[in-house]
């Protein structure tokens, strides 16, 4: 069966300027202007010529050591960053769970934050109204609805955030290391919801350092290493990665 393509990543490269932080003040610009030096020594290619095609319904796991470019790639797919070179095309609405609760305001109550965060994700008021009870039920925070978020525990905030993020069934779901929050029972609930979404045909991009969970839910694994694709394949990639990482440690 010919599957529909959901995301096409075409020769994407991403360059960061590591020294950019220092360039923020007038003094620096002035000093550099006087010295007449241009700083492009500190360039760092986070991603180099990445080509990936992801089809509808695929659950893709991204693995790799810290700084391999996993999160950068997901941010590019989500549209948060623009790649230095290359193009990303996605067909379908994307729901990024890159970091939960990005749009929360700690001064406002949970109820107010549901609307604010929903708006940040691009939903209409009508839509949030209709899903409001679902969100509250899933998060199990009924009694705390009118408490300002600053009085919430981090686990409670994560619950609320997860509940809001997954109220729609997006065509593409981007998950970056989030299931580590909340207590065990809630984690299980999250996993169940995600599995339900996946079986419903949602394309999922999943980043995790837990190879266990990648093996459990992904049917395609991409191993990134220093900005290049080292291997694409099935669950076997996880084993190769594990061997590589452990082997590397022994050699050191």
Partner 1 sequence: MKTINELKSIYTKYNFLIQQLITRDFKVKYKRSFLGVLWSLLYPLMMMTVLAIVFSNVFRFSTPGVNYLVYLMTGLTLYNYFSEATNLAMSSVVANFSLINKVYIPKYVFPLSKCLFVGINFLFTLVPLYLVILFTGTGINFWHVLLPIVFICLFLFTIGIGFILSTIAVFMRDMFYIYGILISILTYMTPIMYDINMISKEFQMILKLNPLYHYISFARTIILYGECPSISQFLICIATSILTFIIGIIVFKKNQDKFIYYI
Binding footprint of partner 1 on the chain (CB under 8 A) = 16-17, 20, 24-27, 29, 75, 78-82, 94, 96, 98-99, 102-103, 105, 107-108, 112, 115-116, 119-125
Identify which of residues 119 and 246 has a Cβ nearer to partner 1 in the complex.
Answer: 119
Task: State the minimum distance, in angstroms, from the CB of residue 74 to partner 1.
Answer: 11
Task: State the minimum distance, in angstroms, from the CB of residue 16 to partner 1.
Answer: 7
Among the listed residues 236, 239, 181, 177, the one whose alpha carbon sits nearest the alpha carbon of residue 206:
177
Task: State the minimum distance, in angstroms, from the CB of residue 68 to partner 1.
Answer: 19
Among the listed residues 185, 178, 141, the one whose alpha carbon sits nearest the alpha carbon of residue 162:
178
Question: Radius of gyration of the chain from Cα atoms?
Answer: 21
Structure tokens at 31: 């000093």
CA separation for the pair 35, 13 (Å, rounded): 31
Structure tokens at 71: 């999160």
Identify which of residues 74 and 211 has a Cβ nearer to partner 1 in the complex.
Answer: 74
Task: State the minimum distance, in angstroms, from the CB of residue 170 to partner 1.
Answer: 13
Task: State the minimum distance, in angstroms, from the CB of residue 109 to partner 1.
Answer: 9
SS3 230: strand
Structure tokens at 74: 């997901």
CA separation for the pair 86, 146 (Å, rounded): 46
Identify which of residues 27 and 38 has a Cβ nearer to partner 1 in the complex.
Answer: 27
Identify which of residues 203 and 211 has a Cβ nearer to partner 1 in the complex.
Answer: 203
DSSP conformational letter for 99? S
Identify which of residues 49 and 84 has a Cβ nearer to partner 1 in the complex.
Answer: 84
SS3 76: helix
Task: State the minimum distance, in angstroms, from the CB of residue 75 to partner 1.
Answer: 8
Identify which of residues 123 and 244 has a Cβ nearer to partner 1 in the complex.
Answer: 123
Buried b or exposed e, range 39-49, using 16+ CB within 10 angstroms: eeeeeebbbbe
């Amino acid at each position: 069966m010919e599957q529909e393509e959901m995301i096409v990543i075409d020769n994407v490269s991403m360059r960061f300027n590591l020294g950019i932080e220092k360039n923020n003040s007038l003094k620096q610009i002035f000093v550099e202007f006087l010295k007449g030096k241009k700083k492009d020594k500190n360039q760092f290619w986070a991603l180099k010529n990445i080509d990936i095609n992801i089809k509808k319904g695929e659950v893709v796991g991204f693995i790799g050591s810290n700084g391999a470019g996993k999160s950068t790639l997901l941010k590019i797919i989500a549209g948060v960053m623009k790649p230095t070179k290359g193009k990303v095309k996605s067909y379908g609405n994307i729901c990024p769970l890159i970091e939960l609760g990005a749009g929360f305001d700690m001064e406002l109550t949970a109820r107010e934050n549901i609307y604010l965060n929903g708006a940040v994700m691009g939903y209409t008021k009508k839509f949030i109204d209709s899903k409001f009870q679902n969100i509250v039920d899933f998060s199990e925070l009924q009694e705390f609805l009118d408490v300002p978020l600053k009085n919430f525990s981090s686990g409670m905030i994560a619950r609320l955030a997860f509940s809001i993020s997954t109220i729609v069934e997006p065509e593409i779901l981007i998950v970056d290391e989030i299931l580590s929050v909340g207590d065990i029972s809630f984690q299980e609930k999250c996993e169940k919801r995600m599995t339900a979404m996946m079986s419903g045909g949602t394309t999922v991009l999943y980043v995790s350092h837990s190879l266990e969970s990648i093996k459990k839910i992904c049917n395609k694994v991409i191993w990134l290493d220093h900005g290049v694709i080292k291997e694409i394949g099935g669950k076997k990639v996880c084993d190769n990665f594990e061997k590589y990482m452990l082997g590397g440690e022994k050699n050191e």
